[in-house]
Each structure stands twice: as C-alpha cells, then as structure tokens.
C-alpha cells in the first residue's frame, strides 16, 4: 500500500491496515455525509517522512495538503491530510475523505439563497396563470384558521368572502428546490424516484421576510373599528364613498374609532380597538394616522358590507363588486350567483322564480314542460325578465322549455335562463367579507396617512351599500409583500433555516439514501426500498475467511420498543384532529416485538413540516372546494401571513359541481387543489402524505416497510471477506458494472449462504485483501 502526500510517496509500516469506518446508515444523513470518513495513520520515522513533516505543526497545517492511499493502482482512500502529532516513533496523520461537499455547502447556505429563477407580481392574473403553468412556484389558496363569523339574518345565504391575494400563499416545488440546491454546489442529481409524477407534484410552503414589529406596534400601532352601520345608494357612476364629506352617496369614514372600550350602536363594549401613542385620530372630520416617527407602513383592511344585488347571469350577480383604496390599490372581483338552478328537479306544488338573463322588461315569455309524460305541455306565460311560476299540485314534471314571443309567433329562446326557488327574488342583498393588505409607504408626523379617498363601485345606480360594524383597519409594519408587489425567489423563501434542513426533511419523509460519486459530481438519491439494487447481486459466498470468527448479532439490540413516525406538532385544525389511537394526525407507530430492544418509544419526527387538514366550505362561491387550513385561531402572536412549513401535493385544476365558480380572472368552473391528504373521488385517485393509512389510502410508512421488515429479521452478521483492492475501490464507484455499495450480496456463513446488504466495513488490509464487514440480512434471505 502506498501513501501519497502532495505527490510524495511516504513510507508506511509493513502490514498497515486502514479503518475506513464505512457505515451504510450515513447514507441517510446529510449532516453525517458532510463530515466524511477520517482514516488515521502512524507514519514511521524515515528520511522521506522526516523531510515532508520536518516543519512540524502548526507550520505544516497552515497550508492544505492532499493525500491518497493506493494499492496496486487502486485508490482506497483520498482526502485532505492534517498532521495530528509528532513523536520519536513517527508522525500521526489523519486523512479526511469521502465528505460530500454538497452537504457542507447546504449546511452553510441560507435557504433563501436557492435560485428557482422566479419573478412575478402579486396580482390575481399572475396567481391564476401560475396554476396553469409548469413553473416551480404556485400561489395556492389557504384557509386561515378562525372562528365562524355571524351571518346577517337578512341574508338568504352566508356572507360571501372575497378572495384577495392575501388569501394565496407561495408554494415551491420540492423537486426544483432540491435540484437547485445540488446544482448550486456543482452536483447533478440522478433519481428515478424524483423523476416520478408523485415527487414532482410535491410543494412546500414558502415564507415571507419576518421582522420584529413589537417595538413599532407598541409605539404607534392601532386597531380602528366602526361603531355604527351606515347605508348609502350608488351614484350615477355606481359608487358609494367612504368619506365624511358629501351627502347621499357616502357612508362616512371607513372606521370610526380606536378608543378602547368604546360602545357601539347596539350598546356592546368593544374590546378590540386600541391606539398606541395616540397616533390614530381625526383631522377635521376625516380619520388620520400620524405616527410619532417616520416609518414604512402598510394597512390591513378587514371589511364587511351588504350590497343590493340583481341576478345578472347564471354565474354572477350585479352589485358592489369593486373597491378602490386610493393610493393603496384597486381590487376588482365577482359577486357569484350562488342560487341553484332547479330546472333539472321540478317538484309538484312548488313555486319557482324564472329569470331570463338577457331578457327585456317588455318581453313576453312562455314556459313549457313535460307533464306526466306529455312533452311541450303549457305551463305559464309571463311578461318581463323575471316571474314566479308554480307547478300543479300533482304530477311528474321535467324538461322545462322557454319561448319568447316575436310578433305573433312563439320562438324558442336561445339565450340563457334559470329556475330558482320561488322565495328568491331577481333582486336581493348579499353580504361580502374581504381582507386586503396594502403596500407599505412612508408615513410620519409631517406626512400622515388619510383614509378619505376610499370608495366602493361596480353597482347599478341606486343600489344600496350598508357598511357593517365588523370593519376594522390596522397598520402593518411587517416586511410581507402586499397586493401588486413585485416578487423574486428570495422574497418567498425567507424560512429562517439552512438548505440542508430541507434535504433532511425530505429524507425523513421517504427514507432516502444519498450516494455521492465525487469523480462525476453526481448524487444518486432513492428511497431505501429501491436504493438497494437486488438486480445487481454479487455472489461472494466463497470469499469468507473461515479462520476468522463469524459473529451474529440481534438487530433488536439497537432498536426501541416502538418507533413513531410523524410530523412536527400541528397548529389549528390539524392539532384538533387525532386518530383513534390518540396519535397526532399524520403519525404511524411500528412495534419492535422483541424483549431485547431498548425500552421506550423512538420518535422520528419531521424536522421541518407540520401536517395539514383540507376543509370544504371556506369559500362561499365554491363551497365544495377543499382548501388547506393553516394558522391557529387561538394564537395571539399569529401575524396572519406566515405559518409553520407545510408540504402538499399539487393536484392541478379540479372541476367544481354545477353552479359553483372560483373567483379568479378565468372565471372558470374549476379550482386549484393541493392537499396533504385526499380520500379520492370520481375524478381523482386519492393519496396521503400521512405516515399512517387513512381513508383507504396508503401512508408514507410504505417507504419504511422494507426497513421494518429487515428489523423484524433481527439478524446482522459480521465476518471477514477476501476483497481485492480494485474490487474495494469499485465498491465506492456507483457508475461501474462491478458490485458497489448498493448491491445485494450472497454471503457464506456457518449457517449457510444468505442474501444481505453491506452495512459496515470496520477495517481493510489491502496486503491480505481482507475486509472485516457487517452485513444486514434481507427478508427471505435464505437461498
């Protein structure tokens, strides 16, 4: 064997063995892979060695040195060499090799240094375009955990909550993130698993910049509310103004007070307003925010109002459907028509409201239907675009048809129309809720912020708008982007962590193994179940050195009584959900089943992710849409923007039931679905990112089933094999055709030939071509 240091061949003691310390468990730990394997040697005193190390230390260690161990041309080990000590006997050195520099760089680099090549605007149109594109960033709707608001008793339907850009959160494709991290370190990734559709559909939640706003909030924060309701009618432009000036089309200031314990018009004492530093107040009649020092500040508007509406079409109502916040932005949305068309389910003795969407007030219309099997039976005539019609007291009715009179002839109506429940009028009232954050701008003692240029619009002249007491405004000192902001990858990757933390979190989910080939700068990544290549079986059954002991050990000695696989503690909805065994949502437990195991439960918890529950009903326009719930309604520190990191599977655009619409620029009958767990339906196969099986879907424990099955064998065998130096070298070269660390081996033991994978190499003597190895028996290992 030769030791070559800086191209100098050093002298070694005869019969030198090397303790490589290979351990297959390191392949699952990026943190351990960054450290590499250190080989220590004691070099004898000789002319060559004395000349090389004569400067001693610290002088020798001030510069970097490269060393290789070779035997008959085969490279056994290589790496950086450092001098540990000198003595009369020789020089103690250490060769630190087999370290994965990608792991070292990932441990040093912040997560927001990853580059996905993303840039965009936080606007509805770009959010919607991202759902239909192939980019690595998608802004997905999230349902922030909260308590259900009370509904206005005058409404026929629940309040309609408008989705604004604040209701969408950035999610980043995990495949793109990992490849970018490895590419940034100069490596390429080879992985059948990562190339699969399942892995490519996984996205993790991004994060915006966090800033300690406690001091600013304490000095000049406020929450202003309304104490009264106010109603006004739209002017000729379809507008109602939130200003104290003018008459007829104004509802006063958008909010009225920030004084604590103010009493509203119902006599209820309001505990939510506050006014730190007395920065919120009045200038003449208008409200104003005058901070005690110049600050960059945006504002959060939580608004609730009731608008008159008219049924405009099958999908949309006419009413106040737009909001202008002055310099804070302009929001245009849709008031969806949530009433159900009953044409397909006529009942006897039932009143229906017929609405001809494009009809005229003077038009004459005739309704026909199939009555007791007779097609085109006369039902009713009416004038105008809407009328109430009633079916007879008995009979079977279906297939309604609409005709319009043109001159003296009845012609089939070619436009759209509908039949609603009879109590529904063509006009009515709808309550709207929305939360909108405005971009930050400078405000200060000499440049205060006024709120008297806000107006609602989009209605028909004369339609009324009632501004409710639930409205509030507060300043935002955070760095989170607001409506219309320009964003890059760095803006949405502000998790306070290093890149290696994501790698370790993904490893935990799928029991991944990392095999680094430094020669080609390639990292092979596969789950444990497919990492070990049983198709590359090497027959080494005749290589056992029978003069050395064969030692069998019980794998249970290194295992706990049970192992619980799961996620970090959930917040909000996921924390309130547990399975029948009392385990947290997303968790799975495996029992060892041996009295020899270590007492207690080993918790293998995700180092990064929390589970997520999807729920329907969060968006009134599409009540069947399943939205991820995030945040915690009882967390007083929740900033309403960021939340614990989540992992979801992107399922694409999914169709909504008839009559439901998603409020996005496309106006389509589909919505963006992403979920942590999905039971499946007629159009999409279910899946689960839970570790446990749930709703008939197999959990992620399937990636650990092989490992658990191997543990159930409870057998390791340690023996000495004859391995030539060139064979030893190829074990660590995964690109070759010869057996490598991933191969399955047939090993001869005192109990016969078994099938196993290489677990450890304790030492190697290249002169004798002898390696002391530990193998792990595979399930069904006997041949």
What's the number of CA atoms in the CB half-sphere (13 Å) around residue 213? 20
Q: What is the DSSP letter of 32?
A: H
For the record, the structure tokens of 372 come out as 């007791």
Q: What percent of the chain has pLDDT over 70?
A: 93
Q: What is the mean pLDDT of the chain?
A: 89
Order of strands, sheet of 351-356, starting from the edge strand that comes earlier in the sequence: 386-390, 351-356, 417-421
pTM of the model: 0.81
Q: Using CA atoms in the order 246, 252, 258, 260, what is the torsion angle rounded to 10 degrees?
A: 120
Report whether pLDDT(373) > 80.
yes
pLDDT of residue 636: 46
State pLDDT tens for residues 538-573. Answer: 999 999 999 999 999 988 888 888 999 999 987 766
Residue 64 CA to chain centroid, in angstroms?
Answer: 43
User: SS3 for 469?
Assistant: coil
State pLDDT tens for residues 498-509. Answer: 999 999 999 999
State pLDDT tens for residues 1-22. Answer: 899 999 999 999 887 888 776 8
CB 686 within 8 A of CB 693: no
State pLDDT tens for residues 630-670. Answer: 876 555 455 567 788 999 999 999 999 887 888 766 667 89
Q: What is the DSSP letter of 394?
A: S
φ/ψ of residue 453, rounded to 5: -110, 15
CB 224 within 8 A of CB 279: no
CB 296 within 8 A of CB 424: no
Residue with the two structure tokens 């007070």: 257
CB 139 within 8 A of CB 205: no
Residue 30 CA to chain centroid, in angstroms?
Answer: 22
φ/ψ of residue 528, rounded to 5: -50, -40
Phi-psi region of 168 (alpha: psi -120 to 50; beta: other; left: phi over 0): beta
User: SS3 for 598?
Assistant: strand
Q: What pLDDT band is residue 178 in, cutting at 50, 70 and 90?
A: very high
Residue with the two structure tokens 């209701």: 167
For the record, the structure tokens of 432 come out as 């709207």
| Strand partners of residue 383 | 364
Q: What pLDDT band is residue 45 in, cutting at 50, 70 and 90?
A: very high
Order of strands, sheet of 143-144, starting from the edge strand that comes earlier in the sequence: 143-144, 627-630, 613-615
């Amino acid at each position: 064997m030769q030791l070559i240091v800086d191209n100098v061949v050093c002298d070694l003691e005869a019969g030198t063995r090397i303790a490589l310390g290979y351990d297959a468990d390191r392949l699952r730990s990026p943190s351990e892979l960054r450290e590499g394997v250190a080989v220590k040697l004691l070099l004898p005193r000789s002319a060559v060695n004395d000349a090389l190390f004569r400067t001693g230390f610290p002088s020798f260690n001030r510069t970097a040195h490269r060393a290789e161990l070779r035997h008959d041309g085969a490279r056994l080990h290589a790496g950086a060499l450092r001098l540990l000590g000198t003595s009369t006997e020789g020089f103690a050195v250490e060769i630190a090799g087999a370290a994965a520099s990608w792991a070292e760089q990932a441990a040093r680099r912040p997560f927001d240094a990853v580059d996905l090549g993303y840039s965009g605007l936080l606007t509805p149109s770009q959010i919607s375009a991202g759902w239909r594109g192939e980019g690595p960033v998608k802004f997905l709707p999230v349902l922030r955990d909260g308590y259900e608001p009370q509904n206005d008793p005058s409404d026929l339907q629940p309040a309609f909550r408008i989705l604004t850009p604040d209701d969408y959160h950035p999610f980043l494709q995990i495949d793109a993130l990992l490849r970018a991290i490895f590419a940034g370190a100069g490596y390429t990734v080879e992985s059948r698993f990562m190339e699969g559709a399942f892995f490519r559909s996984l996205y993790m939640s991004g994060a915006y910049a966090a800033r300690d706003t406690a001091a600013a909030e304490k000095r000049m924060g406020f929450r202003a509310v309304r104490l009264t309701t106010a109603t006004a009618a739209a002017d000729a432009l379809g507008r109602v103004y939130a200003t104290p000036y003018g008459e007829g089309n104004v509802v006063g200031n958008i909010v009225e007070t920030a004084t604590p314990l103010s009493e509203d018009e119902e006599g209820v004492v309001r505990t939510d307003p506050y006014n730190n530093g007395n920065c919120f107040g009045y200038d003449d009649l208008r409200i104003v925010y005058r901070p005690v020092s110049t600050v960059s500040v945006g504002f959060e508007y939580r608004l609730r109002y009731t608008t008159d509406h008219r049924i405009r079409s099958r999908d949309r109502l006419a009413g106040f459907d737009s909001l202008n916040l002055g310099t804070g932005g302009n929001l245009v949305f849709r008031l969806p028509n949530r009433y159900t068309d009953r044409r397909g389910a006529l009942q006897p003795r039932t009143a229906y409201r017929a609405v001809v969407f494009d009809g005229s007030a003077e038009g004459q219309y005739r309704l026909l239907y199939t009555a007791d099997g007779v097609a085109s039976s006369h039902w009713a005539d009416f004038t105008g675009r809407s009328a109430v019609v009633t079916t007879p007291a008995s009979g079977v009715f279906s297939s309604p048809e609409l005709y319009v009179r043109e001159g003296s002839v009845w012609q089939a109506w070619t436009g759209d129309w509908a039949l609603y429940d009879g109590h529904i009028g063509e006009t009515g009232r709808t309550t709207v809720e929305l939360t909108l954050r405005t971009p930050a701008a400078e405000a200060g003692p000499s440049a205060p912020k006024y709120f008297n240029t806000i107006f609602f619009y989009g209605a028909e002249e004369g339609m009324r708008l009632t501004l409710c007491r639930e409205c509030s405004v507060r300043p935002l000192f955070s760095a989170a982007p607001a409506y219309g902001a320009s964003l890059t990858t760095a803006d949405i990757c502000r998790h306070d962590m290093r890149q290696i933390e994501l790698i370790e979190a993904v490893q935990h989910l799928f029991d991944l193994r990392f095999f680094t080939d430094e020669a080609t700068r390639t990292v092979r990544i596969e789950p444990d179940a497919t990492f070990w290549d049983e198709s590359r079986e090497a027959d080494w059954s005749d290589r056992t050195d029978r003069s050395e002991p064969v030692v069998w050990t019980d794998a249970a000695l290194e295992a706990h009584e049970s192992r619980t696989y799961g996620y970090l503690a959930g917040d909000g909805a996921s924390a309130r959900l547990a399975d029948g065994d009392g385990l947290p949502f997303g968790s799975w437990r495996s029992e060892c089943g041996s009295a020899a195991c270590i007492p207690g439960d080993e918790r293998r918890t995700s180092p990064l992710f929390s589970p997520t529950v999807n729920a329907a009903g969060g968006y009134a326009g599409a009540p069947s849409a399943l939205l991820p719930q995030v945040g915690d309604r009882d967390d007083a520190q929740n900033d309403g923007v960021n939340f614990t990191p989540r992992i979801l599977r992107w399922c694409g655009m999914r169709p909504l039931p008839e009559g439901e619409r998603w409020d996005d620029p496309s106006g389509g009958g589909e919505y963006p679905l992403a979920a942590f767990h999905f039971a499946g339906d007629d159009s999409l196969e279910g899946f689960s990112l839970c570790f446990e099986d749930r709703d008939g879907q197999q959990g992620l424990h399937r990636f650990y089933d092989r490992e658990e099955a191997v543990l159930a064998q409870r057998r390791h065998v340690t023996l000495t094999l004859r391995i030539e130096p060139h064979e030893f070298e190829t074990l660590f070269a995964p690109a070759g055709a010869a057996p490598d660390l991933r191969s399955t081996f047939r090993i001869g033991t005192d109990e016969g030939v078994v099938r196993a994978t290489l677990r450890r190499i304790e030492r190697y003597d290249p002169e004798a071509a002898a390696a002391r190895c530990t193998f792990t028996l595979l399930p069904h290992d006997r041949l």
